Amino acid sequence: MSRASRVQPDGSFLATPARGQFTGNRGILHDGSGNLGRARWRHKSWITCTVKPRPGRCPLPMAAPGHYTPLFFLDEAVACAAGHRPCAECRRQAYQAFKAAWAAAFGAAPLARHIDATLHAARIDPATRGQQRHRRPAHSLPTGSFILLDDQPHLVRDGAALPYSPFGYAAPRALPRGDATVLTPAPLIEVMRAGWRPVLNARDDRPSW
């Protein structure tokens, strides 16, 4: 049975056999039986990692006691919408590009812990402990952003809105006129505007990893 480890653009967790292109973690979220508890993070360092085998890491997926809980994302744009940033260890090149864009957007190249603290303040609504959302003109958003359209997550890509599903994206729709509800945290929107681009899933791909 699939565990609810697939993270959605709206911050929810879903049980599905489709694993996607990236994994990541927020600490140990499961119990001794491998089941997720109520906690959705244990620290502020929410990272997006490669699914490729790495020395010292158990084969994915894993849910052994004492190990972090692997989370999965369709692509990096979904991970960003959920509030994650590239891992500085297993995706060093992507992290360095991300940090350079952060510096261009905010005028400084902070340490990872400062990035994480800024992202945490932007991604979590303190009243609900759920996803914090904001409003922006839809046509001003960079490729890789996520918005709500008809109460469903849509990827902004090349000036259009692509309906999201755990298995990929449907045919593009027109972006709404005026403001849209944005799921991607505001600092990540600015990093994308500064030139960094999350890795996007192919439109016709149906991942099953």
Using a pLDDT cut of 90, give the percent of the chain over it. Answer: 73
Residue 32 has pLDDT above 60, yes or no: yes
What is the C-alpha separation between 76 and 14, in angstroms, rounded? 17
- The confidence band for 207, taking pLDDT boundaries of 50, 70 and 90, is very low
Listed by start position, the domains of the chain span: 6-193
Looking at residue 208, what is its pLDDT? 34
Report which of residues 184 and 53 the model is more confident about: 184
Q: Sheet holding 71-73: strands in order across?
A: 13-14, 6-7, 71-73, 22-25, 47-50, 85-86
When the pLDDT of each residue in the chain is averaged and rounded to a whole number, the result is 89
3-state secondary structure (DSSP) of residue 163: strand
Residue 124, amino acid: I
- The confidence band for 205, taking pLDDT boundaries of 50, 70 and 90, is very low
| C-alpha to C-alpha distances, 103 to 11, 187, 194, nearest whole angstrom | 26, 11, 9
Residue 198 has pLDDT above 80, yes or no: yes
Nearest to 95 by CA among 50, 29, 150: 50
Residue 56 has pLDDT above 60, yes or no: no
Pairing of the two strands 71-73 and 22-25: antiparallel
CA 143, 145, 148, 154: dihedral to nearest 10 degrees? 50
Phi first, then psi, for residue 133 (nearest 5°) are -120, 165
Going by the DSSP 8-state scheme, the letter that residue 124 receives in this structure is B
Residue 157 exposed, middle or buried by CB count within 10 Å (0-12, 13-18, 19+): middle
What is the C-alpha separation between 123 and 118, in angstroms, rounded? 9
The CA-based angle 68-71-74, given to 5 degrees, is 160
Looking at residue 65, what is its pLDDT? 61
